[in-house]
Amino acid sequence: MIQIFSTIEYLKEKRSRQWGALTGLGELKLGPKKRLKLELVDTGLNIIGRFQINYLRLLQVINWAAGYSQEFKYLPLQDLRVKLGKVRGGMKINSIDGQALNHAPDFICYLDTKGNFFWVNATLLKELGYDSHELIGKSYEEFIHPEDRELAKARFSSLLNTQESNPSEIRIKKKDGTYFWGWVVGRILKQKGKVVGAALTIRDITERKEKEVEKIMRQRLESLRLIWEGINHDVNNAFFPIKGILDIFKVLRAMAKENPNKALEILNQMEYLEKIENSSERINRLTQKLHYFANFSGEAKVRTDLVALVEAVLSLMRGRFDRAEVKVIKHYPKSWNAKTEQEEQVPILLELHFNGVQVMLMDLLSNAIDAIVSRPEYDFRPKEIRILLDIVEEKEGKMAAIAIKDLGKGMSYEEQQKIFTPFFTTKPSGKGTGLGMTLAKHIVEEHGGKIKVYSKLGEGTTITILLPIDQSRA
């Protein structure tokens, strides 16, 4: 195989009367005694080589030549057709119809197995502003956005090794230093059954990408607006009773100076503390939920006993259960202790985002309470919520199971379909933001778990959560 040419000795052009077309004549020095004569015409390019030459190298030569001569850059190569007949040495080389490639709407480049350019089409040069000698012989990596380089490298080596092409979206540098989004598809180049490089077709998809970014920004703004509306309303609703109670306290304080007994009587009659408790709980739940929306994975996981966590949540919510007169029935895993001859509670240990799971459990329980409270009046079933904790064997491995089963009003099929949609709520304004279930799903998925809803209108709802136990060992 011929060594890569080092210089182009001369390359001149002349008008060929005979052809009536612009013709270029060139000679390329390929080695001390090796020369390659070229004849370029606007209808095609005939290369008369006297040497055995790899046609990929030949393309490189043409490009090189084009890069050296402005006139040759586009015009003579417009109709690039490389024809190599039988050359001495006996190698028959296919003719390449370069016209389609050179002026294809997409950018096309050929890379050798090391990832160095040896041929690029005119569209690429023109649109990206490069001269061919600025690319030929250089590694493609230099032209890839640093953030996309790993992806590009992985795709290129998998293309060479597996000969499979996965289209990828990669940012590529133009001559002016700016980047464009390229949709890159590769195909392997073979010669005599051996992989000699890859041909890449690149489509500029910047416009589509920018639209995507714009769309995401618009969606974010829209959800920000919705969140703001939701919070604004909720916080105001939660603060309203506190403000009212403070006003009453001021009046009572003034009254207490003249008629302390009367003031005390009024104070005892009113359910101030419960109202404040309600309001502060609502604000607290809301801010916690928002915190998790803004910062899901910010919290580190801690080894937790699920049974103890559920107990803690229940004790935090005791007031709510009592006010709603809802009874909790608990089923925790137990084992028999032969020594004490008693049943003992078994802990369920796993790594959890503690606060996230706590907020989620509070939300699920509070949904269950709401569902019981809003049952129709003729529904005389007991006001009950069952909490079942267990360790189950799923196909993914061992999982901690939490089931919250309520005898509440249940959900229609349509409601069940929308339950995880942000801001979907059937609760009166100021009572629900419709973020509880959305957040629950996020938190469960963040743990690599699953959440299932089973509900029947008029009968009740069971929410089951499965959290992997083995992930904690990873």
Q: How far apart are CA 380 and CA 21, in angstroms?
A: 98
Closest residue to Mg ion in the complex (CB): 436
Helix axes of 436-446 and 272-294: crossing angle, nearest 10 degrees: 50
CA separation (Å) from 348 to 306, 330, 366, 469?
A: 5, 15, 23, 9
Rule CB under 6 A: say whether 367 interacts with ligand ATP.
yes
List 388's β-bridge partners, or say none: 331, 403
In the complex with ligand ATP, the residue whose CB is nearer, 197 or 408, is: 408
- In degrees, to the nearest 5, what angle opens at C-alpha 105 toward C-alphas 101 and 111? 50
- In degrees, to the nearest 5, what angle opens at C-alpha 279 toward C-alphas 278 and 284? 100
Min CB(392)–Mg ion separation in Å: 25
Tokens matching residue 37: 């004569």
- Stretch touching Mg ion by CB under 5 A, among 123-131, 175-183, 360-368, 451-459: 360-368
Min CB(404)–ligand ATP separation in Å: 7
Whether residue 271 contacts residue 312, with contact meaning beta carbons closer than 8 Å, is answered with no
Binding to ligand ATP (CB under 6 A): which residues in 405-434?
Answer: 406, 408-411, 415, 419, 424-427, 432-434
In the complex with ligand ATP, the residue whose CB is nearer, 251 or 457, is: 457
Q: Is the dihedral of CA 150, 153, 157, 158 positive or negative?
A: positive
Binding to ligand ATP (CB under 6 A): which residues in 126-165?
Answer: none
Rule CB under 6 A: say whether 26 interacts with ligand ATP.
no
Min CB(328)–Mg ion separation in Å: 17
Binding to Mg ion (CB under 5 A): which residues in 421-460?
Answer: 436
304 binds, among ligand ATP, Mg ion, none (CB under 5 to 8 A by kind): none
Min CB(236)–ligand ATP separation in Å: 15
Q: How far apart are CA 114 and CA 83, in angstroms?
A: 26
In the complex with ligand ATP, the residue whose CB is nearer, 159 or 437, is: 437
Rule CB under 5 A: say whether 367 interacts with Mg ion.
yes
Number of Cβ atoms within 10 Å of the Cβ of 261: 8
Q: In 3D, which of 422, 412, 433, 415 has the Cα closest to residue 366?
A: 433
Rule CB under 6 A: say whether 436 interacts with ligand ATP.
yes
Min CB(429)–Mg ion separation in Å: 14
Binding mask 314-333 for ligand ATP (x = CB under 6 A): --------------------
Size of the site for ligand ATP (CB under 6 A): 23
In the complex with ligand ATP, the residue whose CB is nearer, 74 or 424, is: 424
Min CB(444)–ligand ATP separation in Å: 13
Q: In 3D, which of 374, 377, 388 has the Cα closest to residue 454?
A: 388
In the complex with Mg ion, the residue whose CB is nearer, 81 or 418, is: 418
Min CB(285)–ligand ATP separation in Å: 7
Q: In 3D, which of 149, 157, 144, 143 has the Cα closest to residue 113?
A: 157
Instruction: Render the burial of 346-378: b for 16+ CB within 10 Å, e for the rest.
Output: eebbbbbbbebbbbbbbbbbbbbbbbbeebeee
Min CB(222)–ligand ATP separation in Å: 18
Whether residue 43 contacts residue 37, with contact meaning beta carbons closer than 8 Å, is answered with no
In the complex with ligand ATP, the residue whose CB is nearer, 5 or 321, is: 321
> CB-hemisphere CA count at 13 Å for 291?
12
Rule CB under 6 A: say whether 99 interacts with ligand ATP.
no
Rule CB under 5 A: say whether 76 interacts with Mg ion.
no
Min CB(362)–ligand ATP separation in Å: 9
371 binds, among Mg ion, ligand ATP, none (CB under 5 to 8 A by kind): ligand ATP
Sequence-ordered strand ranges (E) for 209-333: 302-305, 327-331
| Phi, psi angles (nearest 5°) of residue 450 | -135, 150
411 binds, among Mg ion, ligand ATP, none (CB under 5 to 8 A by kind): ligand ATP
SS3 of 376, please?
Answer: coil
Q: Which of 437, 443, 451, 465 binds ligand ATP (CB under 6 A)?
A: 437
Instruction: Render the burial of 56-93: b for 16+ CB within 10 Å, e for the rest.
Output: bbbbbbbbbbbbbbeebbebbbbbbbbebeebeeeeeb
Closest residue to ligand ATP in the complex (CB): 436
Binding mask 232-251 for ligand ATP (x = CB under 6 A): --------------------
Rule CB under 5 A: say whether 408 interacts with Mg ion.
no
Find all residues with CB under 8 Å of 166, minimum gap 6, and list them.
155, 158
In the complex with ligand ATP, the residue whose CB is nearer, 186 or 432, is: 432
- Kindly list the residues in this chain that would bind ligand ATP in the complex (CB under 6 A): 363, 367-368, 371, 406, 408-411, 415, 419, 424-427, 432-438, 461
- Kindly list the residues in this chain that would bind Mg ion in the complex (CB under 5 A): 363, 367, 436
